[in-house]
Amino acid sequence: MNIEMKGINKSFGTNQVLKDAGFLLKDGEVHALMGENGAGKSTLMKILTGVYTRDAGTVLVDGQEVVYKSPQEAEKAGIVFIYQELNVLFDLTVEENLFMGKEITKGFGICDKKAMRKKAQEVMDRMGVNIPINAVMSDLSVGQQQMVEICKALMVDAKVLIMDEPTAALTQSETEGLFRLINDLRKKGVSIVYISHRMEEIFELCDRITILRDGTYVGTENIKDINMDDVVRMMIGREIGERYPKREGVKIGDEVICVENLCKGKTFQNVNFRVHAGEVLGVSGLMGAGRTEIMHAIFGNLPYDSGRVLINGEAIDIKCARDAINAGIGFITEDRKTEGLLLEKSIAENIELANLGKVSKKSVLSKSKGRELVKKGIEEFRIKCFGPEHECNNLSGGNQQKVVIAKWVYTDPKVLILDEPTRGVDIGAKKEIYNVINDLAAKGVAVIMVSSELPEVLGMSDRIMVVHEGRVTGIIDAAQADQEKVMTLATGGTL
């Protein structure tokens, strides 16, 4: 299917998000759509699929002008959008989700369970994913839920598949499975629009790339003809220098946190590690390896069976988040939307909530102290907003993450745990987050950074801890580490 979008304009209120944007998709190609957050990628695709109506411009599908009035209409025409935000029914099973609204029936609305189970299993097998189809969605990991979403799209005979950050929550092996599948689909003539912030993936997978900036079309190139620096330049209109800024002259000091023999049932066993002042410990591993759970346990959010945590050489008893915070631990969780932020509240309320002690006197809030702290946060972390009252819902991913980081940094942690700190964040904001991590390290904070992005772990850490099935399989110096070594450890191998 060929799709041509020309001269697309779209405004929300007085704010124009697309100005003369365009896009040309050829039959059977994987086409990357890139741009910073807010560049209009998702909006452009939502216009194509009938989620939004366009103010101006034309959309030609195989030469015919079309206006889809709803995503259902677009789906009927064979254009399916897999959203970044999971669109799943958490209380239902995998199978029920896959067939939601498209149940196979024996007539009279009676579901043909057998046929559905068979077809569901087929699709899962084709994807190479191993998720029981009768599992309840809420019991699955985010990565698994995402795979179900992708399978759901494949249930429909899609001719064009639009994927918005599909790998954001996937493990390496799941990602590989997805790529195999995308390559299969390409061979069958399916066109794929691939929206991602991950350069490596784009260069590995895509045929062509279109870049948007501030709602306008910048250009389309063959992936073979350009390199990553070109893409970044096109995206942000300037150079950003090195992707992973160096920490220069940061002295690694005394040991701050020491985790000894931490165990929890089958989730993780005998976890031992230490982090020093000014050091960044990268934590790598496949999804479901137990990385996140270990961090939750350290933070008192997940009870553990045995073992202990020492801060500055002193064993601390952590039963809840409050205890951890009092001991000097901060925790930027993996899912900023459900755990990191009060989305419907302002930047001010979010920053103040984590620092109630600082902005109040005898439990009474001090307006001036609160305002001062929030203003400082917005300036220091360069949060793009209208002001302290800006609702977090309306911030871009990167800026939301900056709010979460700001609120934790002001609790003056001795140890800061960051779980997937740059997920769903664009290149410019990523770099700012890396700079923040470096600044913290320079101030003597012990940083623990959990990440599924290998280049990031390699580029930012002093040492790398690798977790495989709940066990630490190795802690290696970043200087001696490479992608291969980390992956070997992450899959249970030895060096």
Partner 1 sequence: MGNTATKTLNKKSWTSYLGEYGAFIALVLLVVVISIISPDFRTAGNFLNLLRQATFNGLIAFGMTCVILSDGIDLSVGSTLALSAVICAKLMTSGIPALAAMPIALVVGTLLGAVSGLLVTKGRLQPFIATLVTMTAYRGLAMILTDGKPISRLAEIAGSSANQFAFKFAGRGNFINIPVPAILLVLSLVIFYFVLNKTTFGRKVYATGSNAKCAKLVGVNITKTKIIVYALSGFMSALTGLLLISRLDSAQPTLGDGYELDAIAAVALGGTSMSGGRGKITGTIAGVLIIAVLNNGMNLLEVSSYYQDVIKAVVILVAVLSDHKR
Of 39-47, 123-131, 277-285, 454-462, which part binds partner 1 (CB under 8 A)? Answer: 39-47
53-63: string of b/e by CB count within 10 Å (b at 16+)?
ebeebebebee
Nearer Cβ to partner 1 (67/353)? 353
Nearer Cβ to partner 1 (79/348)? 348
Q: Is 340 in the site for partner 1 (CB under 8 A)?
A: yes
- Minimum distance of partner 1 from residue 201's CB (angstroms): 16
Q: Which of 237, 353, 412, 480 binds partner 1 (CB under 8 A)?
A: 353
- Minimum distance of partner 1 from residue 403's CB (angstroms): 11
- Minimum distance of partner 1 from residue 76's CB (angstroms): 24
Of 33-41, 224-232, 256-264, 476-484, which part binds partner 1 (CB under 8 A)? Answer: 33-41
Q: Which of 242, 344, 379, 479 binds partner 1 (CB under 8 A)?
A: 344
Q: Is 354 in the site for partner 1 (CB under 8 A)?
A: yes
- CA atoms of 269 and 84, how far apart (whole Å): 33
Nearer Cβ to partner 1 (157/344)? 344
Q: Which of 389, 412, 477, 482 binds partner 1 (CB under 8 A)?
A: 389
Q: Is 15 in the site for partner 1 (CB under 8 A)?
A: yes
Of 74-82, 136-144, 181-189, 387-395, which part binds partner 1 (CB under 8 A)? Answer: 387-395
Of 42-50, 173-181, 458-466, 477-485, which part binds partner 1 (CB under 8 A)? Answer: 42-50
Q: Which of residues 51-80 bind partner 1 (CB under 8 A)?
A: 52
Q: Which of residues 299-338 bind partner 1 (CB under 8 A)?
A: 299, 301, 320-322, 325-326, 331, 333, 338
Nearer Cβ to partner 1 (38/177)? 38
Q: Is 422 in the site for partner 1 (CB under 8 A)?
A: no
Q: How many residues line the site for partner 1 (CB under 8 A)?
A: 55
**Binding letters toward partner 1, positions 118-157, x by CB under 8 A:** ----------------------------------------
Q: Is 407 in the site for partner 1 (CB under 8 A)?
A: yes
**Binding letters toward partner 1, positions 83-112, x by CB under 8 A:** -x----------------------------
- Interaction site with partner 1 (CB under 8 A): 12-15, 17, 37-43, 46, 52, 84, 164-165, 299, 301, 320-322, 325-326, 331, 333, 338-345, 349, 352-354, 356, 360, 363-365, 386, 389-391, 393-397, 399, 407, 424
